[in-house]
Amino acid sequence: MTSADSARPVPTATGADLRRGPLRVGDKVQLTDPKGRLHTITLQPGGTFHTHKGYFRHEELIGRPEGWVVTNTAGVQYLALRPLLSDYVLSMPRGAAVVYPKDAGQIVQMADIFPGARVVEAGVGSGALTMSLLRAVGDAGELHSIERREDFAAVARGNVETFFGGPHPAWRLSVGDLADVLPTVAEPGTVDRVVLDMLAPWENIDVTARALVPGGVLVAYVATATQLSRTVEDLRADGRFAEPVAWESMVRGWHLEGLAVRPQHRMIGHTGFLVTARRLADGVTPPERTRRPAKGAYPGPDAEWTEEDLGERPVSDKKLRRARREVGQAPEQADGQA
């Protein structure tokens, strides 16, 4: 380090304004090498970043602005930037599978999650969607996340607090079943939006309908066509929602090199289906559907729905223990926070 480097102040990652200003101790930094490969580090005093092609000291980035280029001992250059939320959620420790950025963005937009909104999220997983919802409601809004599994909740808490630099003022996290927790935290007709990311969202249509304001939005994120069908039909049968709308999104990148501009060979295809429905005013009967379903579209009554049919994938205890350790929420550390 030069004398000018040593004279630079060493900022620390404190306060609410963690996404602006120079790089600080405790910041996560995404490094891009000349081949486009990504490496994520956490800046620490005395820390170093090593590869088989040399190293550099973290002090060479601390106090520098984002977008700085650092050169290691072998002459390899790295572009240093704070990870975007979309980068962070794909690289953070996880127990349950995360909601991909393409789906989180669709949920925020199509559910019209606005600053100051009162939102309930059920099925927190690893906290990926939670962070997008908190960004959307802002400090003045309210997001109450409800997760059945304590170990998933612990991983989510660690990921969210790592990204925001501490507890978010708009966030509450409860462990339990939505049907049990929601009536205790929200009066009927006071919730603007409900987001369900769970195996069987149709089991919670009644409690969701009672919590939503007239005109409020229910969003369900489901993985399989079987879940999609059951959710839509139960929303129709409930009678308190307008006609549901369902879709999926797929993202394909493009190769850009001079005149060699073409679609990439790989894409982010099916990750899940999204269903939205608006809450009707109490006592209103939804307009009758004029289109007639195709013959054979509906199975017989009392069809059985197993967890395997719905596409549930088990998460091993070993994977969850590792994820909890990585986010500082191991059982012996959490002290019952979640």
Average pLDDT over residues 231-249: 95
Burial class, 297, CB count within 10 angstroms (exposed 0-12 / middle 13-18 / buried 19+): exposed
Please report the sign of the dihedral spanned by the C-alpha atoms of residue 224, residue 229, residue 232, residue 238.
negative
Helix then strand then coil, in percent of the chain rounded to 5, is 30, 25, 45
| 327: in domain | no
Let me know whether 117 and 52 are in one domain: no
Statement: residue 117 has pLDDT above 70 = yes
| 293: in domain | no
| 317: in domain | no
| 7: in domain | no
Lowest mean pLDDT among 105-109, 138-142, 222-226, 264-268: 264-268
Lowest mean pLDDT among 49-58, 64-73, 306-315, 319-328: 306-315
> What are phi and psi for residue 110, nearest 5 degrees?
-75, -25
Which residue among 279, 308, 324 closes a domain?
Answer: 279
Q: 1-25: string of b/e by CB count within 10 Å (b at 16+)?
A: eeeeeeeeeebeeeeeebeeebbbb
Let me know whether 97 and 242 are in one domain: yes
Let me know whether 103 and 216 are in one domain: yes
Contact 275, 231 (CB under 8 A): yes
Let me know whether 79 and 217 are in one domain: no
pLDDT for residue 91: 84
Which residue among 225, 259, 279 closes a domain?
Answer: 279
Can you spell out the DSSP letters for 7-44?
HS---BS-SS-TTSSS--BT-EEEEE-TT--EEEEE--
How many CA atoms lie less than 13 Å away from 62 in the CB half-sphere? 26
| 197: in domain | yes
Let me know whether 110 and 238 are in one domain: yes
| 169: in domain | yes
Let me know whether 121 and 251 are in one domain: yes
CATH number at residue 145: 3.40.50.150
Which residue among 247, 279, 311 closes a domain?
Answer: 279
Let me know whether 128 and 207 are in one domain: yes
Let me know whether 72 and 28 are in one domain: yes
Contact 238, 206 (CB under 8 A): yes
162-208: per-residue pLDDT in tens? 888 889 999 999 999 999 999 999 999 999 999 999 999 999 999 99
Domain count, the chain: 2
| 178: in domain | yes
Let me know whether 195 and 49 are in one domain: no
Pairing of strands 171-175, 245-247: unpaired
C-alpha 249/C-alpha 313 separation (Å) is 22
Let me know whether 129 and 252 are in one domain: yes
Let me know whether 77 and 164 are in one domain: no
Q: What token pair was written down for 51? A: 């590869």
Let me know whether 175 and 32 are in one domain: no
Per the structure, the complete domain to which residue 64 belongs is given by: 23-83
75-93: per-residue pLDDT in tens? 999 999 999 998 888 888 8
How many CA atoms lie less than 13 Å away from 196 in the CB half-sphere? 28
pLDDT for residue 160: 94
Q: 311-328: string of b/e by CB count within 10 Å (b at 16+)?
A: eeeebeeeebeebbbbbe
Q: Which residue blocks in 205-285 are alpha helix, DSSP H?
A: 205-211, 225-238
- Nearest CA to 242 among 280, 275, 208? 280
| 14: in domain | no
Q: What's the distance, CA 176 to chain centroid? A: 19
Can you spell out the DSSP letters for 38-89?
EEEEE--TT-EEEETTEEEEGGGTTTPPTTEEEE-TTS-EEEEEPPPHHHHH
CATH number at residue 47: 3.10.330.20
